[in-house]
Amino acid sequence: MHNPASPSQASTMAFAGQKQSSRTGLFVKSFAAQSLLAVNVMVLLTFYLIFYPNQTPLKVLILISGLIATTLAAFLGGLFLLSFYQVARHQKPKSAFVAILKQSWQTISEPRRAALGMPFLVILMVFMYVFVQIKNNIPLMVPYFWDEPLHNFDVWMHFGKAPWEWLHPFFSQSPYLVFALNVNYNLWFFTMWMVIIPFAFSSTNSIIRTQFFLAFFLIWATGGSALATYFSSVGPAFYAKLGLSPDPYAGLMTYLGQVNQIIPVWAYELQNEMWLAYKGGGINIGISAMPSMHNATALLFVLSARHLSKKMVIPLAVHCFLIYIGSIYLAWHYAVDAYLGWLVTIVAWWVSAPIARWWHNRPSVVEFTRQLDMT
């Protein structure tokens, strides 16, 4: 025989259902409150649908799977590093690993943080998927033809020498200097997530959070897609592979190859793999040099750092500077790629501020922010 729930049990069940319903409603309102960011996805998707050539279902499936796996791995890695920093700074646990796991779970499970962060990650995933589609097919939209003019402009701007030649006397002193430069360059990916995660899983729907992500999307859409398509180029590492001659980067590539025999230069190996993939020997991850998104986003991290922690400003500024040096000496970019990337970032950051303030004055956003603060 069915036993009816006691009044206390019924009350508990009703409260749990109400709580779940409230959380679901908060997630729905969060999507609406962050729809300004989703607009960037729609704009980029429109660009993609107009210019992107037809792809087979298998290629799309492979790309989606790779993007999801890479994004998930980067997210978990960034979350772990951020939690490690928080535990090291504020706790003295018996088990550091357990404390880091608890801190990570707390970051993503606390209702306010989850309500803001999870919908944003969905928006980010769709945006980056479309971005990768565009990047992979830039040479199909606009063939690579800007490398020679960009190199010539680089030489003119830097007093008659390619920028790597100014750096070579220092980095040729030891292969370990090149290795350190490459380590910093690779850390960019995790640095990006260590900045994104605190903003994404913030406990408040702040104006500066919206400004940061709006600028972030604008940088990738205008710089990484529109301008990258117009200034279709491959960068110094691939200069000779385009058939351009004489090759002003032959000495640099020879030296990087020699260093790679002593200690790994991941950039050198990856560049070879990227070119093979571009020629049909693997999964194409896209080649695009102008403007430099590494440099553009590294500057964005510096501009936003003081809103996270003032202690982060100097380390991120050093990281940004070394990204600039690394982008040149590891043969990824012409120096002018960085300069245009920085300009895009400064404009995006400046434009995003009044837009974010306007957005947060909308009644629906004000109400969501109030409800979030009461949760």
Q: How many CA atoms lie within 13 A of 194 on its CB side?
A: 20
Q: Are 147 and 239 in contact (CB under 8 A)?
A: yes
Residue 47: per-residue pLDDT: 77
CA dist 55 → 46, 128, 284, 353 (Å): 16, 17, 13, 38
Residue 14: per-residue pLDDT: 40
Compute the distance between CA of residue 204 and CA of residue 373 in angstroms, rounded to an integer. Answer: 7
Compute the distance between CA of residue 41 and CA of residue 37 in angstroms, rounded to an integer. Answer: 7
Which residues, other chains included, contact 306 with Cβ-Cβ below 8 Å and sequence gap of 6+? 312, 313
Q: Are 255 and 247 in contact (CB under 8 A)?
A: no
pLDDT-derived band at 130, boundaries 50, 70, 90:
confident
Residue 324 identity: Y
CA dist 193 → 73, 77, 297 (Å): 11, 8, 11
Which of 109-118, 193-202, 262-271, 348-357 is the least confident region? 109-118
Is the predicted pLDDT of residue 87 greater than 50, yes or no? yes
Residue 3: per-residue pLDDT: 57
pLDDT-derived band at 52, boundaries 50, 70, 90:
low
- For residues 242-252, give the mean pLDDT: 92
Residue 121: per-residue pLDDT: 81
Q: Are 232 and 239 in contact (CB under 8 A)?
A: no
pLDDT-derived band at 260, boundaries 50, 70, 90:
very high
* Residues 68-83 pLDDT 10s: 776 677 667 767 776 7
Q: Are 222 and 206 in contact (CB under 8 A)?
A: no
The single-letter DSSP state of residue 206 is: -
Which residues, other chains included, contact 178 with Cβ-Cβ below 8 Å and sequence gap of 6+? 171, 256, 259, 263, 265, 329, 330
Structure token pair of residue 325:
């040096």
Q: Are 179 and 263 in contact (CB under 8 A)?
A: yes
Which of 13-17, 148-152, 302-306 is the least confident region? 13-17
Give the residue extent of every domain in the chain: 142-195+205-361
Is the predicted pLDDT of residue 112 greater than 80, yes or no? no
Residue 15: per-residue pLDDT: 37
Percentage of the chain beyond pLDDT 90 is 45
The single-letter DSSP state of residue 239 is: T
**What average pLDDT does the structure give for the chain?**
84
* Residues 312-356 pLDDT 10s: 899 999 999 999 999 999 999 999 999 999 999 999 999 999 999
Structure token pair of residue 106:
């707390």
Compute the distance between CA of residue 330 and CA of residue 266 in angstroms, rounded to an integer. Answer: 9
State pTM to two decimals. 0.84
Residue 323: per-residue pLDDT: 97
Tell me which of 96 and 142 has the higher pLDDT: 142
Compute the distance between CA of residue 255 and CA of residue 287 in angstroms, rounded to an integer. Answer: 22
